[in-house]
Structure 1
Amino acid sequence: MRSQTRHIGDGGMPGALSQAEAITAFKDAINNITMGYNDCGDSDSIDAGSTFMGPTTYESDISDDDRCTPRDGQSTWDAGNLAGYVAATCSWTTKRGDFYDLVEADVRYNTTDHNFTNNPTSSCTTQFDLRAVGTHEAGHVFGLGHAPDGHENLTMTPYSDTCDPAPRTLGRGDLLTLEYVY
């Protein structure tokens, strides 16, 4: 089982959420990956988990120009500036035999250039769905890369649409890749 222990930063949160609301949204996004929530009706067969450890004063180890900086030993989800990207993930692994173990993974939402919502409605026009973006980034945390062109219906597509909650749940390609990894 691959497990991720994570914290939440103590600064501003995407979508102007309170820290408690952001914790719930981030947990849901990560659970979409670790529990294999999908549109296909398939049951969970993914052997991955995550533990929330609480707030931290540490920042995610991601620079404003979207580079991974030296890790600080704390997996942190937070919000701040990025080089135009909607969100970014940095992860560090160590090799154990033929496998890689996750040591740390940080996620940052770009709240400087983009707006987020926790509840996209019909009046939404320019906001990204916080949980859909979080599910995509959690996919990176747990080893998924971007889906190839022609698979825009998958959570791991490299393109995000505003106001679209569909990537909160996995498509068949996302699920099959996770099942292969775990």
Structure 2
Amino acid sequence: METETFVPLKGHCTCKTITYEVLAPFLCTNCCHCTWCQRETGTAFVLNSIIETSYFRITSETKPVLIDTLSASGDGQMIARCPKCYVALYSDYGDDGTWTTYVRAGTLDDEGKKRVRPDAHIFTSTKMDWVDLTGEKERGLPIFEASYKRKEAWGKEANERFNRLKEKMEAAKEAGGASKGKEEALPPSNINRETD
């Protein structure tokens, strides 16, 4: 799906204090079955829809609270939660920092939820025994016992977009630090990553 014709997706926390928009198709939606996601969400898995941060913006006046959280990789993650209802809206993971945003697909509005399906199941070696992925296999969905290599699991357009983003990330590092490049990569109307 081309970005120019994309109808933005909208989402919010339970109390609607935090609202957001996604301005391009997701790069990939992972259904993660790792024990860390199980523990963090209190359920069997989490649906993370990955988007370049420049295509994600908070539309509410109130900004989320960013909570530095451990992760299995050791890189950590920042989980963005509503300061009132504490619902997790998205994460920034250590590998890509704030260049990519992992949107919790369950926080999308009803219309958005209809437009998002898992593109891959990951860390299925630790999935709950009662989770049956037979139907997902039959529809040709990639299923991985651990993580995956992006090039192998993502579609052509998503890989091309990520490669362009990676070039910006590398240029920012060479120019004196990732944070400078991150700021330049984000449009002025984008999310304020600082807490209030």
Q: Same fold (TM over 0.5)?
A: no
Per the normalisation by structure 2, the TM-score is 0.24
Structure with the bigger percentage of helix: 2
